Each structure stands twice: as structure tokens, then as C-alpha cells.
Amino acid sequence: MGYAAYAHCVPTDTDRSGLTRLRHAGVTAVAAAALLAVALVTAAASAQPTMNITVSPSTLGPGDAVTVNGDNCGPDNAQFTNHQVIATLVEASTGVAYGSTQGGVSATGTWSLPVTAAEFAPDGAYEVRVVCQSTSVSTGTLVAVPGPAAAVTLVSPAGSATMTASPSSGERPLTVTVTGTSCGPTNAAPRTIQIELLDPSLQQVAAQTVVGTGGDWSTTFTIATPRLNPYTVRASCVDGAGGTVLTYPDQRIQVTTPPATLVVSPAAVDAGSTITATADRCPDPEVPRLGGFYFVTFTFEPTGTSGQGQSLGNGEWSATFEVPPGTAPGTYDVTATCSLEELGQVLPIFTYNAAQYEVAGAAATPTPTPSATPTPSATPTSAATPTAIATATSTPAPGESLSYPSFAPLPTAAPIVPALPATPTVVPASSGSAGKVSFTG
């Protein structure tokens, strides 16, 4: 058969039932290699056909067994010996193993193995994954070759005990309420429920014991630490003597960090100005990181200019861009992708939501608004100077009383001071008559 190097997922942690957690298939080569308990080699392909497998039944319940039959693992030859098959029942969505069996093969390379699902395996879609394992005759190195996977479904029988965890996902810190039923009949003595919170490697991070009332129970956990893979809530119902009455199906809790963000500053510029784009969480500083070099690639419209950003540390990256002079007014996108470079290959990890910036138009020359011409106010007319009007008097005859001129003031005029009498002028008398005084004026 054809042999090739295979990152076979092997036990990393063991839980109380001896089951092991297998890593996600999406784990990169370096991370997967860190999990290997055996060395893997690459050998030249032979004319042997690939393995074929069948499973029966395709639907089963927790605690039931599925039989896996296959061929073409071996037989032993001059290159490889000690052929073995490992069959594992894996939850399709998480990669968590809920049963595993290892056995030998026949002289013709055929084999048959039963795999029993754990009693606490949750309902859902599963895969039976097989690996053909052998030893290289020339080097003594263990070689593992994957075979095809077969789908099976787990369905709990009607009336089985149930457990729920809500919410099943959210950002840290996440408070989860765990509720269960059927821990003994309602008229039975109270029973205790032992609940565990397990991290993605199935190591216990918290535990509680509660007393069920009428068989039903509820408790809460607060999970502060985000992880790439989900946590597991596992619980069992225990009677007064300490014996396990039943085990509840596991529940998954995915705890995440806030989403990665991409921002542009300033958000509005003129053509010819410079903008700065900043991206974070590449890698996310709050979760375990894979090996290799992380980086962010930025792309700027309208030119499509693209390049690797500058690391600011702690998973943050930035890049600057000069908006070309003459760029038309409008809104433009900036996009970015977080990638991982490992073993000479670049693997995109995720793409940020696009950020926008706005290019403003040329400022319009303001049209001056003519100001209203003020209406000239009327020039005040000065009040007329009152004119004194003299009342004419005649020159008194000899022997008459002297009278002075009288003045009549205008109605609005200020009072007028009467004029002093004119200076008398002596007029010489004519010949033969007496002299007299006369006023001129």
C-alpha cells in the first residue's frame, strides 16, 4: 500500500474515563507535530490499494458500540511489519474523541473492530476515523497512514436524562447556566450531581456539587479565559452511596475574545493627505497561538496598493497610505488579512471587516452676500433761531413820557432779555429854540 507522512493525532490528555481528546483537523503541521507521540516517515508508494471501511450500525446511542470493518492495512512485507489499526469515534464538529479501539489485522490485511461510544457522548454527527499503523523494517520507525472516515449519528433514547448549557457561546467573561433533569424519581431521596468544567484538553478547571430537587437541578459557571477550541461541561448523577446513577451528555461552550478590528484614521481627508490603518489580534494575545510568523496585509483603495504592515506588538499592526492628489471625492475601502507563514507557506487566518475613509471635495469659493445699503437717516433740521420782532414806537413829543421798545417772544423761543436803551445822542437845537434829547435807534 502507499505510505505517506501523516500528522496522526494521538492522546494529549486523559479524562476520568480514559478517553482522549484529538486535535482539530485544521491544526497546522507544526502544532500537530507537537502532539505526536511517534515518529512519522515518508515511504515510496506501492501498488497496494487504499483502505476501505464500513460501519454498522450507522445510528447508535451513547454507550452503544459500532463495528468497523476494513481492508488493505498490510499485510506485512519486506518494508513494513506489525500492522495495527486504530479506530476512533470523533465528534465531527469539535474533534473530541468519545471512543477508541486498536487491533491487529489478518494475513490478508483485513480487520474488524468494535468502537463503543461513551455514555456521556452528546447527540449529534460523528465520524469513525481509522489509521493503519506499522513499523518500518529498515529504520524501526513507526509509520501511520490515515484511511477514509465513515459517518455515524448518535441519538439518545427517548426519556433519557438531559442537560443543557446556555448560552453555548459568547465573549469572555461568559456566565453559563447548566440545567439537568431526571437525577432520580421525584419521590426518591435527594441525589447529588457532580458537574465539571473541562478546558479544551479535557483538564478540569472548575467543579461543583449540587443537590437535585425532584431530580432536576441547575448551576452556573463563569468562564473568563477564551480558548480556540470549546470548553466541555460534564456531569453525573450520584446516589447516597456514591454510586453513579447516570451520566449526562457533554455540553460544549465556546468562549471567544472580542472580534478583531480594523480602523482608519483620520476618517475624512483631502486628496494628497496621509491616512493610517491599524489592525489588532493577529495573533490574538488572549488565546494560545500556533507556531510561525503572523502578519497583516493591508490593501488601500482607490489604487489597490497592498503591503505588509508594521508590527506594533501584542498582535497589533499598522500601515500608512498617501491618498493620491486629484483623487475624486467619495468613500474608499481599506481591507486587511491576518496570515500565518509557516514552513515556507502562507496560510490566511481571517479577513477583517473593511474600514472606510472619505475623501472630501475641493472647498467651494464662497459667494459674498451683498449687505443691504443703509438708508440714510434724515439730517436733523436745526431749530430756527427765534427772531425778536420789535413793536415800532414813535418819538415822544415834548412833555410826553419816555417809552421803550417792547418785544414779543416766539412760543418756543427761549426768553429774550430786553435790550438796553440806546445811547442818547444830543442833537443841537436849531437857532432860536430850546434843545431836546432824542433817541435814535
Q: Is residue 434 part of a domain?
A: no
pLDDT confidence of residue 91: 95
Give 287-328 pLDDT, tens digit per residue.
877 788 999 999 999 999 999 999 999 999 999 999 999 999
CA 156, distance to chain mean position in Å, is 37
Q: Where among 295, 330, 359 does a domain terminate?
A: 359
At residue 413 the predicted structure's pLDDT band, cuts being 50, 70 and 90, is very low
- If asked whether residues 53 and 150 sit together in one domain, one would say yes
DSSP 8-state secondary structure symbol assigned to residue 40:
-
Q: H or E segment at 338?
A: strand 330-342
CA-CA distance, 439 to 246, in Å (whole number)?
151
CA-CA distance, 71 to 8, in Å (whole number)?
19
- If asked whether residues 336 and 320 sit together in one domain, one would say yes
CA-CA distance, 243 to 78, in Å (whole number)?
53
What CATH number does residue 183 fall under?
2.60.40.2550
- If asked whether residues 149 and 176 sit together in one domain, one would say no
- If asked whether residues 137 and 175 sit together in one domain, one would say no
Q: Where among 154, 171, 197 does a domain terminate?
A: 154
Burial environment of residue 7 by CB neighbours within 10 A (0 to 12, 13 to 18, 19 or more): buried
Q: Is residue 36 part of a domain?
A: yes
Q: What is the mean pLDDT of the chain?
A: 78
Tell me: pLDDT of 402 over 50. no
The grid coordinates listed for 96 are 473530541
CA 119, distance to chain mean position in Å, is 38
- If asked whether residues 219 and 169 sit together in one domain, one would say yes
| Coil vs helix vs strand at 30 | helix
Tell me: pLDDT of 279 over 90. yes
pTM over 0.75: no
- If asked whether residues 198 and 251 sit together in one domain, one would say yes
Alpha helices by DSSP H, listed for 308-439, are none
CA-CA distance, 287 to 93, in Å (whole number)?
20
- If asked whether residues 277 and 217 sit together in one domain, one would say no
Q: Is residue 185 part of a domain?
A: yes
pLDDT confidence of residue 210: 92
Contact, 231 vs 94, CB < 8 A?
no
Show the domain range for 282.
262-359
State the first-to-last Cα distance of the chain, in angstroms, to the nearest integer: 158
- If asked whether residues 138 and 47 sit together in one domain, one would say yes
- The residue among 378 and 353 whose pLDDT is bigger is 353
HSE-CB of 247 using CA atoms within 13 angstroms: 16
pLDDT confidence of residue 239: 86
What CATH number does residue 274 fall under?
2.60.40.1930
The one-letter code for the residue type at 34 is: A
Handedness of CA 282, 286, 289, 292 (dihedral sign): positive
Q: Where among 129, 154, 179 does a domain terminate?
A: 154
- If asked whether residues 188 and 285 sit together in one domain, one would say no
pLDDT confidence of residue 404: 43
Q: Is residue 395 part of a domain?
A: no
Contacts of 266 (CB under 8 A, 6+ apart): 273, 275, 357
At residue 428 the predicted structure's pLDDT band, cuts being 50, 70 and 90, is very low
pLDDT confidence of residue 377: 57
- If asked whether residues 97 and 205 sit together in one domain, one would say no
Q: Is residue 433 part of a domain?
A: no
Q: Is residue 438 part of a domain?
A: no
pLDDT confidence of residue 367: 59
- If asked whether residues 211 and 271 sit together in one domain, one would say no
CA-CA distance, 108 to 294, in Å (whole number)?
48
- The residue among 402 and 54 whose pLDDT is bigger is 54
- If asked whether residues 45 and 112 sit together in one domain, one would say yes
Q: Is residue 222 part of a domain?
A: yes
Number of domains in the chain: 3
Give 123-177 pLDDT, tens digit per residue.
999 999 999 999 999 999 999 999 999 999 999 998 888 999 999 999 999 999 9
